[in-house]
Amino acid sequence: MNHRSHKGDQDQKKLHGIVVPMITPFRGKGMSEVDHEGFEKLSQFLIEGGVNALMVNGTSGEFLMQSFDERKAAVRTVVKAARGRVPVIAGISEASTINAISLGQDAEDAGADAILATGPIYYKTTNDGLFGHYASLLKAVSLPLMIYNIPSWIGYNIPAVLVKKLEERHPGRIYGVKFTTSDLELFLEYLRILKNLVPVTIGADALILSALQLGAAGATVGCANVLPGDTSAIYRLFVKQRYAEAIEAQEKIDGFVQVMGLGTFPASLKEGLRFLGLDCGQVRPPLVPLGVTEAKAVRESLSWKKLTQGSSATAAGK
């Protein structure tokens, strides 16, 4: 295992701003192949759009639809495409600690800057088991760990006090938190408990600005796949204290955010990218592409972008 120092480039690599959980481009019959050329084009499009970090193998990336080898190869492709311009966070979420460690060690060897993990998937453990899961990852992999709390998908909440305990036991090793929730009261509890200890990002696309106003370090949101520049503008305007413009920027993406849940996620993200000129294939079965009515709603939500874009997405797809 390549235990590298992660103390250099602290400002750039500290969790902040807009992190994009990348979709995984597929191609071939039944979406049977990962499109690595598509990954490279998407990475370039997102970096040019101003995002602060790339995340591979998250929920938007259909990670559970892929083999271990595909997931490992995806990390290597994105690390290479990023060329150190932004941090790359590798998702390693798994049901078993052993499998998560294997993915984490490979991500470290591939040159990722951090790893991302939900709690164990499908099987539920105790808080002691959850703490042990994360502690084992930190022991086996020297990369910083980003904790992914998504109760609506995993089926349970990761207590903020558990994250605090991990940081206290492993100082400086917790990269941050992605908390996907529409419950701002619960999100605020996270911010209070982890204040000055661990950066917390919101995973709810409609609440980026609201979370920043409460003290979030940024947002980790799927809409940034399709609207990287417009989503990043919310953060940039907020930190510059241009609050009225930040509100307008949040409102600008709201139409697309409202249709993101159509069909089987992340089908709407891939439809949006296709509409703007960057074809990343369809979702992998048993997920299904959007129907005609749903696809039309996505396209209509982005019609303003199609009319005003300077062809950056199209250029990236050439």
Is 160 within 8 Å of 189 (Cβ atoms)? yes
Q: How many domains does the chain have?
A: 1
Q: Could you tell me if residue 241 is inside a domain?
A: yes
Residue pair 75/109 in contact by the 8 Å Cβ criterion:
no
Indicate whether 297 belongs to any domain. no
| Residue at 311 is within a domain | no
Tell me the average pLDDT across 227-243.
98
pLDDT in tens, 190-201: 999 999 999 999
Q: Would you say residue 237 has pLDDT above 90?
A: yes
Contacts of 55 (CB under 8 A, 6+ apart): 19, 20, 21, 22, 61, 88, 89, 90, 91, 116, 220
The token pair at 267 is 């089908």
Is residue 225 within 8 A of residue 55, CB to CB? The reply is no
pLDDT given at position 20: 98
Three-class secondary structure of residue 217 per DSSP: coil
CATH number (domain holding residue 118)? 3.20.20.70
Retrieve residue 63's tokens. 């990670």
- Quick one: pLDDT at residue 226? 98
Would you say residue 291 lies in a domain? no
Give CA separation, 105 vs 92, 112, 113, 262, in Å.
Answer: 10, 10, 12, 35
Determine, yes or no, domain membership for 4.
no
Phi (first) and psi of residue 314, to 5 degrees:
-65, -40
Please enumerate in sequence order all residues whose Cβ is within 8 A of that of 17, keeping only pairs 6 or more positions apart, or say none.
Answer: 51, 52, 53, 217, 218, 232, 235, 236
184-194 vs 160-169: helix crossing angle, rounded to 10:
20
The average confidence (pLDDT) of the chain is 93
Q: Is position 285 within any domain?
A: no
Given a cut of 80, whether residue 102 has pLDDT beyond it is yes
Look up the pTM and report it: 0.92
31: left (phi over 0), alpha (psi -120 to 50) or beta: left
Report the pLDDT value the prediction gives residue 113, as an integer from 0 to 100: 98
Which pLDDT value is given to residue 22? Answer: 98
Task: Report yes or no on 166 lying in a domain.
Answer: yes
Evaluate the CA torsion angle 283, 285, 290, 292 in order and state its sign.
Answer: positive
Residue-wise pLDDT tens digits, 103-139: 999 999 999 999 999 999 988 899 999 999 999 999 9
> Could you tell me what percent of the chain has a pLDDT over 70?
93
Specify if 101 maps to a domain. yes
Catalytic residues: 148, 178
Q: What's the CA gap between 23 and 190, in Å, rounded?
A: 27
pLDDT digits (tens, 9 = 90+) for 37-64: 999 999 999 999 999 999 999 999 999 9
Range of the domain at 62: 10-246
